[in-house]
């Protein structure tokens, strides 16, 4: 009997794994550029599942939607549809174009994710590093979604992971003061240049600039590497602005990890950041 029970469990698990499907390189724009594509990971036959919308990192100059490590299995096993997007990159385009690409991908999700078992009105926007800045900006500056005839109401939560540019002017000041103090050469294409080399643009691409009441800004979970001076300061900065405005926010510093590892470990057994993530998602889905 024990052998039969074990076999049934194995068969059921195998069937469940086979039920997971992925559709790759779906274009999300009219006359799309080769990077205006996304991948959808989903459970066969599922309906009305919440959706995780993932934005990769890479300094806005590199990275790929395939760099998702454990996340697709993690989220599909937990009853989510998982979407991972590409977007055009610096220096071929400027920062505003990148954010608009992300918003267009959300538009595609809103229009089509039900075809893959997802609920377009229960969307969680997440991203790592540069993707964290894009996620935070998209979830606070509602102009990008409004341009796609959408609102922040469809976003149930935002999870930026280890970003250092929620307040771009502060990051520029910090980095350039460090170079000066240590006699280091100035970066040829640092944050100042990436965000447009214009103080007005630096402010406009900062999530902290756009936090305000009555905008339907979703709850935030800010994951960061504990003790790293830049990402810790930036997470606390955005967290304080959200808190002062009355927007629910949790700031979680992961210990004994790195910028790369905190992203790669999301979904690992006994990973503290993963535990914090699913507590956040569970609470958000209750509302």
User: Mean pLDDT throughout 85-106?
Assistant: 98
275 inside domain: yes
Numbers of helices and strands, H then E, in the chain: 12, 8
10 inside domain: no
- Listed residue (4, 41, 48) closest to 19, CA to CA: 41
pTM of full prediction above 0.85: yes
Q: Tell me, what CATH number does 221's domain have?
A: 3.40.50.1820
Confidence of residue 20 (pLDDT cuts 50, 70, 90): confident
Confidence of residue 180 (pLDDT cuts 50, 70, 90): very high
Please enumerate in sequence order all residues whose Cβ is within 8 A of that of 104, keeping only pairs 6 or more positions apart, or say none.
28, 29, 36, 148
Burial 23-61 (b: 16+ CB within 10 A, else e): eeebebbeeeeebbbbbbbbbeebeebbbbbbbbbeebe
Confidence of residue 114 (pLDDT cuts 50, 70, 90): very high
Confidence of residue 191 (pLDDT cuts 50, 70, 90): very high
How many domains, in total, are found in the chain?
A: 1
User: In whole angstroms, what is the distance from residue 108 CA to residue 120 CA?
Assistant: 10
248 inside domain: yes
196 inside domain: yes
6 inside domain: no
Q: Which tens digits make up the pLDDT trace of 201-245?
A: 999 999 999 999 999 999 999 999 998 999 999 999 999 999 999
**DSSP states along 128-146:** ETHHHHHHHHHTT-THHHH
Which range marks the domain in which residue 198 is found?
21-285
4 inside domain: no
158 inside domain: yes
- 222 has which bridge partners? 251
74 inside domain: yes
């Amino acid at each position: 009997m024990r052998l039969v029970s074990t076999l049934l469990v194995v068969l059921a698990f195998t069937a469940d794994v086979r039920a997971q499907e992925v559709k790759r390189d779906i274009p999300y724009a009219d006359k799309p550029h080769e990077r205006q594509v996304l991948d959808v990971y989903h459970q066969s036959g599922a309906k009305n599942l919440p959706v995780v919308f993932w934005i990769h990192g890479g300094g806005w100059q590199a990275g790929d939607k395939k760099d998702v490590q454990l996340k697709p299995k993690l989220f599909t096993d937990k009853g989510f549809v998982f979407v991972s997007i590409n977007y055009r990159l610096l220096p071929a385009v400027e920062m505003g174009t990148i954010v608009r690409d992300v918003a267009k991908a959300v538009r595609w999700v809103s229009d089509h994710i039900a075809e893959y078992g997802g609920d377009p009105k229960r969307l969680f926007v997440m991203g790592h590093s540069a993707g964290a800045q894009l996620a935070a900006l998209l979830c606070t500056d509602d102009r990008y979604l409004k341009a796609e005839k959408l609102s922040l109401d469809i976003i149930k939560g935002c999870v930026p992971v280890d970003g250092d540019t929620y307040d771009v002017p502060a990051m520029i000041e910090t980095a350039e003061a460090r170079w000066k103090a240590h006699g280091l050469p100035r970066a040829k294409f640092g944050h100042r240049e990436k965000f447009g080399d214009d103080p007005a643009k630096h402010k406009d691409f900062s999530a902290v600039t756009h936090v305000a009441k009555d905008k339907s800004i979703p709850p935030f979970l800010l994951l960061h590497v504990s003790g790293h001076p830049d990402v810790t300061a930036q997470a606390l900065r955005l967290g304080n602005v959200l808190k002062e405005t009355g927007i629910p926010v949790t700031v979680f510093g992961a210990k004994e990890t790195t910028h790369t590892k905190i992203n790669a470990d999301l979904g690992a057994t006994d990973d503290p950041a993963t535990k914090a993530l699913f507590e956040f998602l569970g609470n958000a889905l209750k509302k």
